[in-house]
Amino acid sequence: MKAAIYPGSFDPITKGHIDVIERALKIFDRVIIAVGENLEKKSFFTTKEKIWMIRESTGHLKNIEIDSFSGLLLGYVKKKKCNVILRGLRAVSDFEFEFQRALMNRKLDGDIETVFIMTKEDYVFLNSGIVKEIAQFKGNVSQFVPEAVAKKLKEKFP
Ligand code: ADP
C-alpha cells in the first residue's frame, strides 16, 4: 500500500486541490489530506471548518484520509509511516518555493520524496486567496470551489 501525504493550508479547499487529489489517487493507493496548523500563516477558516469542507467535498473519493497536523511536516510524515509528500504545481511562481522546500526536506530526511502533480489548465490561476477575495465582494465562486465551500463562504460573507 503506497500512501502519499498532501499537506496544505486548504483555506479553503478549491477545485484545484481536488484535481490534484484525484490525479494522485491514480498513482497512489491512499492519499492523506493533512491540514497544517501553521502559526505564521494566519488562516481565515478554523481547522475544524477546513476539515468539514474537505470532507463534504471529497465524498465521491475512496481511499482518502483527512487529518490535521501542527509542527514540522517531516515529523508528521514519519508519524504516519509515510515517505511521500504530495504537492500541486501551478505556474512557474510555485516552482521556486516548492523546489526549496522539497530539497530542504530531502536534506533533513533522505528517505522522503516530494512528488509534484500538475493541475488542470483551468485551475492554474486558482488559489484559496483569490476565492476568498471574490466571495468577499459577492462574486460567484461556484466554478472554483466545491458546493459545500461556496455555501460556507456565503455564510461568512452574507
Ligand atoms: P500551502 O499554504 O501549503 O501552500 P495550499 O492550501 O495553498 O497550502 O496549497 C497546498 C498545495 O496545493 C500546494 O502544493 C499548492 O501548490 C497546491 N495547490 C493549491 N491550489 C492549487 C491549484 N489550483 N492547482 C494545483 N495545485 C494547487
78-102 pLDDT per residue, tens: 999 999 999 999 877 788 999 999 9
d(CA 128, CA 126): 7
To the query of whether residue 142 is one of the catalytic residues in this protein, the response is: no
Does 15 contact ligand 1 (Cβ within 6 A)? no
User: pLDDT at residue 134 above 90?
Assistant: yes
**pLDDT value, residue 107:** 94
The three three-digit cell numbers of residue 123, written as one number? 485551475
Judged by DSSP in three states, 122 sits in helix
> What are the start-end ranges of the H helices in the chain?
15-24, 47-57, 73-79, 92-108, 128-136, 147-156
CATH at 41: 3.40.50.620
In a domain, 142, yes or no: no
Greater confidence, 34 or 94?
A: 34
d(CA 131, CA 11): 10
Q: Would you say residue 83 lies in a domain?
A: yes
Full-model pTM = 0.94
Mean pLDDT within 111-119? 95
Distance, CA 127 to ligand 1 centroid (Å)? Answer: 7
Q: Cell digits for 6?
A: 498532501
How would you label 19-46 residue by residue, b for 16+ Cβ within 10 Å and e otherwise? bbbbbbbeebebbbbbbbebeeeebbbe
Per the structure, the complete domain to which residue 17 belongs is given by: 3-124
* Residue 87: inside a domain: yes
12 Cβ below 6 A of ligand 1: no
Query: Is the predicted pLDDT of residue 74 greater than 80, yes or no?
Result: yes
- The tally of domains found in the chain comes to 1
Of 118, 126, 121, the residue nearest 145 (C-alpha): 126
Give the pLDDT of residue 31.
Answer: 98
Question: Is residue 147 situated within a structural domain?
Answer: no
| Residue 141 DSSP SS3 | coil
**pLDDT bracket for residue 22 (50, 70, 90):** very high
Which residue(s) pair with 30 in the sheet? 3
9 in active site: no
CA of 94 to the centre of ligand 1 (A): 9
Amino acid making up residue 123: Y
**What is residue 114's three-state secondary structure?**
strand
Active site residue 60: no
Query: Residue 1: which pLDDT band, with cuts at 50, 70 and 90?
Result: confident
Give pLDDT, residue 41: 74
Residue 113 pLDDT level (bands cut at 50, 70, 90):
very high
Contact 45, 68 (CB under 8 A): no
Answer yes or no: is the C-beta of 10 below 6 A from any ligand 1 atom. yes
Q: What is the pLDDT of residues 37-68, one digit of tens each?
A: 976 778 999 999 999 999 999 999 999 999 99
Residue 43 annotated to the active site: no
